[in-house]
Homo-oligomer: A and B are copies of this chain.
Amino acid sequence: MAVDAERRTRLVEALKASSHDALICSSASEVLLLTGYWPVMGASVAVFHSDGEVKVVLPEDELEIAQKTSDAKLIAYKPAGLHTLESPLAQLAEKLRSATKELGRARIGVLTKEGMQPATYAVSSQFRSSLLTLLRQMLPQAVFESCDEMIETLKAAKTPKELDVMQTACHVAAVGFAKANACIAAGLRETQVAATVQAAFEETSEALPLQRSYGYFFCMSGPNAAKAAAAYARTRQRVIEQGDLVMIHANTCADGYWTDLTRTFTTGEPSERQKEMFKAIMEARAAGLKAIRPKVLGRDVDTAVRSVMEQHGLGSAFKHAAGHGVGFAAANSNGRPRIHPMSDDVLEVGMTFNLEPAAYFDGYGGVRHCDLVAVTADGSRVMTEF
């Protein structure tokens, strides 16, 4: 696996700036950040030293994936087996002890605060406070400190290599949206549309370069599209009617890098009201894109989008922020940059976020157009050109 030298350099610099000797993380997104390998079962622990050396203690079942995606030193353990009924943490303890033996008096950054994590599998391990308890026992003279803010900052701007994987994620997701455009029709249930779109996404050969490609497509039609302003999307059994707005929302994943995408369709020719909603939203999108460049604040981009919505009389229908950091998760309340009226997050080259102008009317429906955008040296690049 080729090294992501840029990511390693950034981590080393961040540790130098914070005077930490190492970072130790077990949450999947953070293991990905530190190693390039995205755990499946959540039972892996990454140890990143301030000199750039990185090790990961991982289940032996995940070696194949890790070898193809990471150049970290891989230290395999057997989380379960016919020989034991002990838990994964008990099984990895010895390997972790040897991976951390140089850290006797170190200052070590760990995650302690609330955070959001993507779904890595149908079920996954959480060490809760037990990993930190174990580390304190192993390294009684080390100092453990919260590195939550540092990690969020590091996750915000992607390296060129990370951007490449995110671009692949967008290409794979595009297949689902193309299918949505072809298959949405009055008379189908939302579940049928979502299933058809999901299947097109899952079987595409666009995903061939990836170890793991999966994700979720949702369909919300008519009044249910108005409910898409919520923090989560939900496909229901509603039968789509002629004249409905039909929203397709996707959160898809390419080897640990996520998308957050929405397109809205109509059954039949859009009505005048619908045309006005689409027109306002596409103008707001253009204004938002125009505002994006390095050193601009998150709230300035939100204002650019929101102003256009207000000019079209859709200010109160635009119920959420104009965007949020996307990449190491599809959404993250701590994720930078926040494209929000109160955000003073400063845009930097490589930051990736969604731009999602929208209008929702309870009982009627909603339109949202949600793209994935990367900040470039002189502006922005839309990663979702479909």
Contacts and interface: CB of A to CB of B under 8 A. Distances in A.
B126 A129 contact: no
A113 B89 CA distance: 10
Nearest to A252: B122
Contacts of A113: 87, 128, 130
A115 interface: yes
A67 B212 CA distance: 36
Given A113-B128, A128-B114, A212 B234 contact: yes
A311 interface: no
A155 interface: no
Nearest to A334: B87
A330 B122 contact: yes
Interface residues of A, number: 80
A61 B230 contact: yes
A121 interface: yes
A87 B61 contact: no
B207 A191 contact: yes
B85 A338 contact: yes
Contact of A195 (B120, B130, B202): B202
A137 interface: no
A131 to B, nearest CB: 7
B205 A199 contact: no
Contact of A79 (B126, B231, B258, B332): B231
A345 to B, nearest CB: 9
Given A114-B128, A214-B216, 9 more contacts: A82-B319, A84-B342, A112-B128, A114-B127, A118-B123, A121-B232, A123-B258, A128-B128, A202-B235
Given A203-B192, A340-B82, A122 B333 contact: no
Contact of A87 (B114, B128, B329): B114
A200 B207 CA distance: 22
11 contacts: A59-B231, A82-B340, A113-B130, A116-B124, A117-B123, A123-B332, A128-B128, A191-B202, A195-B198, A195-B202, A195-B203
A46 interface: no
Give the number of times this chain occurs in the complex, counting copies.
2
A275 to B, nearest CB: 27
A132 B128 CA distance: 11
Interface in A43-70: 59, 61
A1 interface: no
A198 to B, nearest CB: 6
Contacts of A216: 122, 214
A5 interface: no
B126 A115 contact: yes
Contact of A196 (B199, B215, B342): B199
Contact of A128 (B115, B120, B201, B251): B115
Interface string A155-196: 000000000000000000000000000000000010110111
Contacts of A274: none
Contacts of A125: 114-116, 333
A243 interface: no
A252 to B, nearest CB: 9
A40 interface: yes
5 pairs of A and B residues whose beta carbons are closest in the complex: A119-B119, A195-B202, A122-B251, A61-B230, A195-B203
Contacts of A198: 195, 198-199, 202
Contacts of A342: 82, 84-85
